[in-house]
Amino acid sequence: MTQETAQLLRLYIVFLPLIFVAGFYCVITTRNLIRTLLGLEILTKAVTLMLALAGYLTGRTAMSQALIITLIVIEVVVIAVAAGVVLNIFRHNNSLDARNIRSLKG
Amino acid sequence: MNGLLQFFIITPSLLAAAAFLSPKRIKGLREGIALVATGLNLYFALAYFGRDIYATVPWGGGLGLDFSLRLYGFSSFIIASAAAFSFLITLYSSVFMYKKEHPGQFYLYLILSVAMINGAVLADNLVVLLFFWEGLLVTLFGMIFIGHKGAYKTAMKALIIAGITDLCMMLGIALTYYLAGTLTISKIHLPMSFGASVAFIFIMIGAISKAGSMPFHSWIPDAAVDAPLPFMAFLPGSLEKLIGIYFLTRISLDMFQLSAGSWVSTVMMIVGAVTIILAVMMALVQKDFKKLLSYHAISQVGYMILGIGTAVPVGIVGGIFHMLNNAIYKSCLFLTGGAVEHRAGTTDLRKLGGLGKVMPVTFASFIVAALAISGVPPFNGFFSKELVYDGALERHWIFYFAAVAGSFFTAASFLKLGHSAFGGKISEEFKKIKEAPFAMLVPMVVIASACIVFGLYNSFPIDKLIAPVLGEHAQSHVFSGFPHNIMLVAITLVVLAGAVLNHIYGVKKTGKGLGAVDHIHHAPVLSTLYDKSGQADPYDIGMKLTGILAAGLWYIDRGIDWLYNGFSVYSAYAIAFVSKNIRGASYSAFIIWSLIGAAAVLAMMFGKS
Amino acid sequence: MSWTLVVVPIIAVILLNLPFGEGYRKLAFPAGIFLAVLQSALVLLPIENMFPYGACPLSPFVFLSPDALGLLMILSVGIVVFSALLVGWRMTDKTSRKSDFANLIILAMAGMNGVILSGDLFSLYVFLEIVAVSSFILIAMDKNREALEGSFKYIMLSAVATILILSSISVFLMLTGSTSFSAAAAALKQGNHAAVLASGLFIIGLLIKGGIAPFHGWLPDAYTSAPAGVSIFLAGIVTKTTGIYTIIKLVSYVTGYTGPVKEILLFFGAVSALLGAFAALDQKNFKRMLAYSSISQMGYVIMGLGAGNPLGVMGAAFHLFNHAIFKTQLFVNSAAVEQETGTLNMDRLGGLSDKMPVTGATSVVALLSTAGVPPLSGFWSKLLVIVALWVAGYKIYALIAVFAGVVTLAYLLSMQRRVFFGNISASFSNIKEAGVSFTLPAVLLSTITIAAGVFFPYVFEKLIIPVQALLGLL
């Protein structure tokens, strides 16, 4: 393993978990629905980084790129749908507070 | 498959479907199909009688789940008896059910039950047996359900009781498989280790519940009121006893080596004795013809279980013979009850009376059957009861005492029944009724004559059919003919005379046949026994307190049962509450749970690698 | 040509949405029915190797030929989609929404076929997402409060699951440079810790999608608040394919039936079986009770898998199929009740079996099958699972399974009593039996349950025994 790779890996090992934690923290603790979606986006980026790293480590950068692009497309669709749901929730409750969508219990 | 499969299982099933699907417009078509089905079944049963056939269809990828059937002496005997009863009762039903609701379903369930019973009796593989045994749950439920609008409650009750005891039987069978290593019944011979005893008890629970013993009996009196009457003669009256006691015998003699002196045998005898006494006492106070008969049905099963539980040859032969005899006279009694209901429109003993004058043939059949069930010589009941007494006495006098006491009360009860229904004064509205129709009389008379025949010529059933079942156990004994122990016979005659005296006393005291046993009901110790046994219905108590959990709660210790019951219900609801709400209400809570679960999964993944 | 199972529905959706007007879009319904029936029929035809492997044109995706369990799942997908389309089409009001519903179902069907047929980890992910996105939209279609809430919760949990699955895929990629099943399996065989971590993450993600406790939080809300046709669809096949079936696939092709994996399956399966059963006891809403029942039944399937012997795998596969049939049946009945009475509150219902005899009778059949009463199919699959657990030495788990079965019987009987027996309230005195769209699938599903039970030997030989092969793949 060359020095570059080692340095890169060190950076990754420090920052990737940070991004993951940040993403999960954002999703779990925020009360604003839009921020939840942003948290999902952060997590998606973290995974994208992992895929890029994988491509670099094994030398198969082309495959990695293809996977990342597919991933981005799929996540766009998911976020679009999620945003649509959030928009409709807003229309019902006139607020983006996540505490309003706790009514289904038991 | 040597015709076993086709004739005994597939043909009745197809004809059952045909009976159900046949158009209502063609009058009598359904009854005709049913008669053909049961008649064919009887023909094949007799044609194949006594043959030794073993047939198997292997499937299941070598997992031992072969579809194997075995016809041999005992099972052919049971099938022939079941076939005879089915045919006669179908004949009877063709008139009785003519104007009632849902005849199509009735015949469907009836013929299907015949197929299921054939399958269960013939089965040589535990799983196949279980399959057909459980299939009877469906027909049981169905036949009660069609009785009338509110009958579903009783049908559910029967289903729940039968379902739970079948579950016990399944556990017992699983345990047996584990101990024996094979599912083929004819190959299983287990010594009574502790594990085997536990398995035996579980299977016994299933078998005696099917036969209608206590404490699994509470659906039978309800069904007597709610279900169509031929059903009572058919399933709880005869067929379920045949199959329940058949299987009980198989596990006692073939599959497990029941020995006199094991605690299992003692348990069986206690269950039998308790059933005899408690059920007959409850029968004493009934004011409805059908309910009274149903409690007696439960009581008689006690004799069978006691007989087999003695684990001595004479007792076992007695128990099996009693099973046959009981099927005979019990179904005859139910049929007479049905004839009364058909003509008089009611089975309430307070309203009936004096029917002996207008329904003489019915009355005569009733007398024969009542004498048989009370154990009067020379009818069949006398001989089987003597054998059971002999066996019980060999084990412990207390069981003998219980059996004889049971006979006393049985005789008293039937004196009362006969007096109030057929004797005494006839009320105005019944003066004009006629004797029961021909198609109903024939089965009654045939069966009643069997009581006489099997009594006088008891060597035929005992030596030819039953003793061979015992195999090597029975070599040195001769069971048929007049009982050897003259002392026992003398005691029986004294007891019967006592019952007659009791009846006369009771009639003098209260002035009518119905009150003949009231003094027993109100006697000091006995009245407490009545109260206790009235409460001793696990099903009722469970149903009242739990509602939802009625399906799962049987308790053992009567003394703390309220506490236990309350605790189980409370804890079940508490667990339900926790399970419902633990997940949380917001998506954040869900995600947190998922992360906790994720940590657990990862810990497990790395645990042993 | 197994790829046709995926490509044809997708092309159908494209064709059905050409701008030719409203009436044209309504063709989605017959098209969907046709595709579903075709799919089921193709599986049942006695032709060897019905869906051979063949390179899919214009696509980098690898589609395998379906193994025995895959065939069973394709059959289930066809049957459930058929039922869901019939009921959903009838129950959705506006025409535009009707066509949307049908189109989304067809799209999801394509996705599920893809999940069943996929040959490597990443394509598995893509098709999982296709099904997920279609489900999100389907649940929220009516745009009422509860549905949106249920959909959003599902989105959140599904997204978390996706993240975990993708992380797993990227770790496998890092280790082996490829996303195929065999490469991942090889990495695991070497005992590489990172590979173990990756397989663990994948399993967690699938457990979330399958609704196994404690990852089940979204499931009751999503099933209950979705419109009737969508509930049928979700409960019958979506969760089962994307979650449970994929776990079976993963364990068979990648991780193998190793000790830790079996432990995980047994433990979480038992927790689900018990938790689902108990939670179902104290429910007022018909669909919610059925949702918890699904959790419980999937617990059984996972436990059967965890037993790790041929009987267990076969029992799990057969129970998966049976569940698709009887749970769909129960949801169809609940849809019929909802359509006729307008409520799902079991305290207000009662006595419906007089007015709705077909619904009541088929509900009894489904109930008996779920509780495991012979001679219905549920008896056999439950028996197989319990015996498999006992024989494999996991006696405690076998007893847990039996106990959960007793509780299952309890809540099902309670449901039947509260909805169909008892006294009918005055406001419902004019209801009739639900229409053909409800009774046809109900009768069909009941017939399948009864037939699979009665003709069990035949079904066993033809469809279930081959499933054993899943054990020996690694």
Quick: pLDDT tens for B227-267.
777 887 787 778 888 888 888 888 887 777 777 777 888 88
Structure confidence at residue C472 as a pLDDT band (50, 70, 90): confident
Considering only CB atoms, A28 lies closest to which of B580, B581, B591, namely: B591
Q: Does A21 touch chain B (CB under 8 A)?
A: no
Q: Does A82 touch chain C (CB under 8 A)?
A: yes
**Distance between CA B239 and CA B253 in Å, rounded?**
21
Whole-model pTM: value is 0.69
Q: What is the ipTM of this complex?
A: 0.95
Q: Which domains does chain A have, with CATH numbers?
A: 3-98 (1.10.287.3510)
Considering only CB atoms, A47 lies closest to which of C155, C166, C179, namely: C166
Q: How many A-C residue pairs are in contact by the CB < 8 A criterion?
A: 103
Q: Does A102 touch chain B (CB under 8 A)?
A: yes
- Residues B422 and B363: beta-carbon distance below 8 Å: yes
- Model confidence at C438: pLDDT above 50: yes
Amino acid (one-letter) located at B536: A
Q: Do B588 and A98 touch (CB under 8 A)?
A: yes
- Model confidence at C354: pLDDT above 70: yes
Q: Does C197 touch chain B (CB under 8 A)?
A: yes
Same domain, B554 and B516: no
C118 beta partners: C63
Please give the pLDDT value at position B541: 54
Please give the pLDDT value at position C276: 94
Structure confidence at residue C48 as a pLDDT band (50, 70, 90): low
Q: Specify if B529 maps to a domain.
A: no
**Chain A residues near residue B585 by CB distance under 8 angstroms:** 102-105
- Model confidence at C167: pLDDT above 80: yes
C-alpha distances out from residue C303 to C220, C249, C392, C464, Å: 21, 15, 12, 17
Same domain, B394 and B366: yes
Structure confidence at residue C196 as a pLDDT band (50, 70, 90): very high
Interface of C with B in 45-104 (CB under 8 A): none
- Residues C305 and C460: beta-carbon distance below 8 Å: no
- Model confidence at B389: pLDDT above 60: yes
Please give the pLDDT value at position B449: 86
C299: Cβ contacts below 8 Å, ≥ 6 apart:
C212, C213, C268, C269, C270, C271, C272, C273, C274, C275, C276, C404
- Model confidence at B514: pLDDT above 80: no
Q: For chain B, give the mean pLDDT.
A: 76
When pLDDT is averaged across residues C293-309 and rounded to a whole number, the result is 94
Omega into B378 within 30° of 0, i.e. cis?
yes
Extract the tokens encoding C139: 């649940």
Q: Considering its fold, how many domains does chain B have in total?
A: 3
Which of the residue ranges B183-192, B450-459, C4-13, C148-157 has the most confident prediction, judged by mean pLDDT? Answer: C148-157
- Residues B147 and C391: beta-carbon distance below 8 Å: no
- Residues B202 and B164: beta-carbon distance below 8 Å: no
What is the domain range of residue B102?
Answer: 1-243
- At B57, is the secondary structure helix, strand, or coil? strand
**Distance between CA B296 and CA B221 in Å, rounded?**
10
Please give the pLDDT value at position B532: 57
- Model confidence at C375: pLDDT above 90: no
- Residues B219 and B539: beta-carbon distance below 8 Å: yes
Structure confidence at residue C300 as a pLDDT band (50, 70, 90): very high
- Model confidence at C43: pLDDT above 50: yes
Quick: pLDDT tens for B275-296.
888 888 778 777 788 888 888 8
Cβ burial of B355 (10 Å; 0-12, 13-18, 19+) is: buried
Considering only CB atoms, C217 lies closest to which of B160, B577, B584, namely: B584
Q: Does A99 touch chain B (CB under 8 A)?
A: yes
Q: Does C24 touch chain B (CB under 8 A)?
A: no
DSSP string covering C127-150: HHHHHHHHHHHHHTTT--HHHHHH
Nearest residue to B387 (alpha-carbon basis) of B485, B275, B273: B485
In angstroms, the separation between the Cα of residue C245 and the nearest Cα of chain B is 19
DSSP string covering C393-413: T-HHHHHHHHHHHHHHHHHHH
Q: Do B591 and A98 touch (CB under 8 A)?
A: no
B288 beta partners: B348
Omega into C19 within 30° of 0, i.e. cis?
no
When pLDDT is averaged across residues B560-579 and rounded to a whole number, the result is 72
Please give the pLDDT value at position B393: 82
Q: Do B590 and C153 touch (CB under 8 A)?
A: yes
Same domain, B183 and B268: no
Chains near B with 3+ CB pairs less than 8 A apart are A, C
Same domain, B212 and B283: no
**Chain B residues near residue A99 by CB distance under 8 angstroms:** 586
- Model confidence at C151: pLDDT above 90: yes
Same domain, B215 and B72: yes
Q: Does B549 touch chain C (CB under 8 A)?
A: yes
- Counting residues of chain A whose pLDDT is more than 90, the rounded percentage is 64
Quick: pLDDT tens for A33-74.
999 999 999 999 999 999 999 998 888 888 899 999 999 999
The domain segmentation of chain C, as residue ranges, is 4-472
Considering only CB atoms, B59 lies closest to which of C278, C374, C457, namely: C457
Low-confidence winner among B307-311, B393-397, C44-48, C103-107 (lowest mean pLDDT): C44-48
- Residues B483 and B387: beta-carbon distance below 8 Å: yes
- Model confidence at B559: pLDDT above 80: no
When pLDDT is averaged across residues A95-103 and rounded to a whole number, the result is 88
- Model confidence at C46: pLDDT above 60: yes
- Model confidence at C429: pLDDT above 70: yes
When pLDDT is averaged across residues B67-75 and rounded to a whole number, the result is 75
In angstroms, the separation between the Cα of residue B592 and the nearest Cα of chain C is 9
- Model confidence at B1: pLDDT above 50: no
Helix axes B289-309, B263-284, angle to 10 degrees: 160
Extract the tokens encoding C62: 């690898």
Q: Do C390 and B67 touch (CB under 8 A)?
A: no
When pLDDT is averaged across residues C346-354 and rounded to a whole number, the result is 83
Low-confidence winner among B104-118, B139-153, B322-336 (lowest mean pLDDT): B139-153
Extract the tokens encoding B200: 């035996």
- Model confidence at B475: pLDDT above 70: no
When comparing pLDDT for C125 and C413, which is higher?
C125
**Chain C residues near residue A85 by CB distance under 8 angstroms:** 136, 140, 148, 151-152, 155
- At B556, is the secondary structure helix, strand, or coil? coil
Extract the tokens encoding B220: 């039978």
Q: Do A27 and B595 touch (CB under 8 A)?
A: no
Neighbours of B14 (CB within 10 A): 14
- At C19, is the secondary structure helix, strand, or coil? coil
Please give the pLDDT value at position B553: 35
**Distance between CA C182 and CA C172 in Å, rounded?**
11
**Distance between CA C374 and CA C370 in Å, rounded?**
10
Q: Does B134 touch chain C (CB under 8 A)?
A: yes
Q: Do A104 and B585 touch (CB under 8 A)?
A: yes
Considering only CB atoms, B174 lies closest to which of C207, C217, C390, namely: C390
Please give the pLDDT value at position B550: 31
- Residues B255 and B188: beta-carbon distance below 8 Å: yes
- Model confidence at C141: pLDDT above 70: yes
**Chain A residues near residue C149 by CB distance under 8 angstroms:** 89, 101, 103-104
Q: Does A39 touch chain C (CB under 8 A)?
A: no
**Chain A residues near residue C156 by CB distance under 8 angstroms:** 27, 36, 40
Structure confidence at residue C73 as a pLDDT band (50, 70, 90): very high
Same domain, B271 and B170: no
In angstroms, the separation between the Cα of residue A101 and the nearest Cα of chain C is 6
When pLDDT is averaged across residues C160-188 and rounded to a whole number, the result is 92
Same domain, B453 and B582: no
Same domain, B283 and B327: yes
When pLDDT is averaged across residues B478-499 and rounded to a whole number, the result is 72
Scanning every residue of chain C, which has its alpha carbon at the shortest distance from the alpha carbon of B174?
A: C387
Q: Does C451 touch chain B (CB under 8 A)?
A: no
Q: Specify if B511 maps to a domain.
A: yes
Same domain, B45 and B124: yes
- Model confidence at B28: pLDDT above 80: no
Structure confidence at residue C247 as a pLDDT band (50, 70, 90): very high
Quick: pLDDT tens for B515-556.
556 666 556 555 555 555 555 565 555 445 443 433 333 333
Q: Specify if B227 maps to a domain.
A: yes
Tracing tokens 């645990």 back to the chain, one arrives at B607
**Distance between CA C313 and CA C468 in Å, rounded?**
6
- At B125, is the secondary structure helix, strand, or coil? strand
Q: Do A51 and C166 touch (CB under 8 A)?
A: yes
**Distance between CA C404 and CA C297 in Å, rounded?**
9
C185: Cβ contacts below 8 Å, ≥ 6 apart:
C253, C254, C255, C256, C474
When pLDDT is averaged across residues C301-315 and rounded to a whole number, the result is 91
DSSP string covering C34-87: HHHHHHHHHHHS--TTSS---PPTT----BPPP-HHHHHHHHHHHHHHHHHHHH
Low-confidence winner among B378-382, B574-578, C56-60, C101-105 (lowest mean pLDDT): C56-60
